[in-house]
Amino acid sequence: MRAIVTEPRTLYQKIWDAHVVERRDDGTCLLYIDRHLVHEVTSPQAFEGLRVAGRRVRRPDLTLAVPDHNLPTTPRVDAAGRRLPIADAESAQQLAALEANAPEFGIRLIDATAPEQGIVHVVGPEQGFTLPGTTLVCGDSHTAAHGALGALAFGIGTSEVEHVLATQTLLLKQSKSMEIRVDGALGFGVDAKDVILAIIGRIGASGGTGYVVEYTGSTIRGLSVEGRLTVANMAIEHGARSGLIAPDETTFAYLKGRPMAPAGEAWGRAVAWWRTLPSDPGARYDRTVTLDAGQIAPSLTWGTSPEDVVPITGAVPDPDSFADASKRAAARKSLDYMGLAPGMRMQDVGVDNIFIGSCTNSRIEDLRAAAAVAKGRRVASGVRQALVVPGSGLVKRQAEAEGLDRIFIEAGFEWREPGCSMCLAMNPDKVPPGERCASTSNRNFVGRQGPGARTHLVSPAMAAAAAVTGRLTDVRELMHQQTGSL
Ligand SMILES: CC(C)[C@H](C(=O)O)[C@@H](O)C(=O)O
Ligand code: SF4
């Protein structure tokens, strides 16, 4: 018998090959979509399109709707259990549309008051809706987060949302492949957020444009699923279409028993297939970038692009230090907006707001890391708002069972209902104009957290450290004081 010789394939190639319905001569493929997450902002017109065309949703059973962006994070029901109205008219309209569209089209809706409600990118993995080897889409740019479980996941626009709802397929061209390999042990006080910030700082906000990235190496393998979700979540911030992490025992242990994950015999069959997915030895990537985890410090951004990364021990860069003229101009504009001067030490910069939340950092581990720093301390008097916003109702309950809510509340943080919150200014949680925020979210764009808001992207532990000192702070100092050793 002759052995069949096949080219070694990457994880990306394997998932792609398994989903091609039709390949055209120009390389465009019709790809089957296994999972579709829907939220209130990008779906109303898509459903309207279906209605006008008289079409139904092709696979309502593969579609899950969750409101998250526009919901206030203050209590949603009154003492009698009645839903409280949403003040903002557009938000109220979008939420009402989702609540009407889901039942009309036979889609499961996790509504605003359901215990499982949360940010789509937190809910998908948590429910076991997100599975290795699947293609997963959502009308949302941070959909790549689901790649942490080995799903080929990416954001799509509203017209594509309509296309997927109607056909369960999408027309796509294959991207190039990039390996981002991180090896070594993470230093004290350094976490998954610092890893992805370091990656973005290295390759730049458009370094991944045209690529699907696979994060590999011992550092990535050593991360929990929560940490992997933080990394893959920001794939779009270095321009990649998608960010993948090969499924392994950590992934399987995380998924086992989740409500929507396969069960019984189906579980065994699924795991057997998932084990075949990791990139084959010798599989070729179009580009490989390597990072040494030991070189990564607790990091943060100084400017208005996620690539503007420095270690917390660093200083605001001098725009003149950039080789590229457009970078110099962008840095000047950024510093002006951020109210910072070249050479200022990052640790001397005071903060007015703290946001611990978003689909990047609102899972249980994130809250534990922040609580470990907040414990027994007080939010500094100069800090006007310090919000902790769990990524889902289930995260919230788990945190409460562990007493984390008490730690935060006693320290002077506000403990909120789940949602996108202060990650973007689409609901009542905003950073006031000209004020500065240490935020665990993923975007520090101009106006992202409110008009004139100044954002510094940090890890949960770093956000808690900034909260208790009132300035951007090296969390290692506080942890050192706490443990008395380093
Ligand atoms: C509102 C939504 C469409 C948007 C996105 O596409 O990502 C938001 O989630 C964001 O993070 O900017
Ligand atoms: S938490 Fe932020 S980044 Fe994530 S989906 Fe919501 S708005 Fe987008």
Over the stretch 374-422, which tens digit does the pLDDT of each residue have?
999 999 999 999 999 999 999 999 999 999 999 999 999 999 999 999 9
Cα-to-centroid distance, 67 and ligand 2 (Å): 11
3-state SS record for 135-183? EEEECCCCHHHHHHHCCEEEECCHHHHHHHHHHCEEEECCCEEEEEEEE
CATH topology of domain 300-483: Aconitase; domain 3 (3.30.499)
Q: Where are the domains of the chain?
A: 26-172, 300-483
Ligand 2 contacts CB of residue 442 (under 6 A): yes
**Closest ligand 1 atom to Cα of 155:** 6
Distance of alpha carbon 233 from alpha carbon 236, whole angstroms: 7
Q: Which residues make Cβ contacts (< 8 Å) with residue 432, sequence separation at least 6? A: 352, 353, 384, 450, 452, 453
Tens-place pLDDT, residues 4-57: 668 999 999 999 999 999 999 999 999 999 999 999 999 999 999 999 999 999
Q: What are phi and psi of 465, to 5 degrees?
A: -65, -40
User: Nearest to residue 298, comparing CAs of 436, 463, 423, 148?
Assistant: 463
For a substitution probing ligand 2, which of 156, 420, 422, 440 has the most ligand atoms within 8 Å of its CB? Answer: 420
pTM score above 0.90 = yes
Query: For residue 70, what pLDDT is reported?
Result: 97
- Assigned superfamily of 26-172: Aconitase, domain 3 (3.30.499.10)
Neighbouring CB atoms inside 10 A of 236's CB total: 24
Least distant ligand from the CA of 140: 1
- Among protein residues, the one with the nearest Cα to ligand 2's atom 2 is 423
Cα-to-centroid distance, 234 and ligand 1 (Å): 12
**Burial level of 389, CB count in 10 A (0-12/13-18/19+)?**
buried
By the 8 A CB rule, do 126 and 258 touch? yes
Cα-to-centroid distance, 358 and ligand 1 (Å): 11
- Binding-site annotation: residue ranges: 359, 420, 423
Query: For residue 119, what pLDDT is reported?
Result: 98
What is the ipTM metric for this complex? 0.98
Query: For residue 5, what pLDDT is reported?
Result: 66
- Binding-site annotation: residue ranges for [4Fe-4S] cluster: 359, 420, 423
Pocket of ligand 1 (CB under 6 A): 41-42, 69, 140-142, 155, 424
Ligand 2 contacts CB of residue 146 (under 6 A): no
Distance of alpha carbon 135 from alpha carbon 230, whole angstroms: 19
For a substitution probing ligand 1, which of 38, 39, 40, 41 has the most ligand atoms within 8 Å of its CB? Answer: 41
Query: For residue 167, what pLDDT is reported?
Result: 98
User: Nearest to residue 383, comparing CAs of 411, 352, 410, 429?
Assistant: 352
Neighbouring CB atoms inside 10 A of 215's CB total: 26
Query: For residue 66, what pLDDT is reported?
Result: 98
Query: For residue 2, what pLDDT is reported?
Result: 60
**Closest ligand 1 atom to Cα of 426:** 1
Alpha-helical runs (H) found in 299-392: 325-338, 364-374
Q: Which residues make Cβ contacts (< 8 Å) with residue 203, sequence separation at least 6? A: 180, 238, 289
For a substitution probing ligand 2, which of 94, 140, 443 has the most ligand atoms within 8 Å of its CB? Answer: 140
Cα-to-centroid distance, 41 and ligand 1 (Å): 8
Query: For residue 485, what pLDDT is reported?
Result: 44
Regions in the chain scoring below 70 on pLDDT = 1-5, 480-486
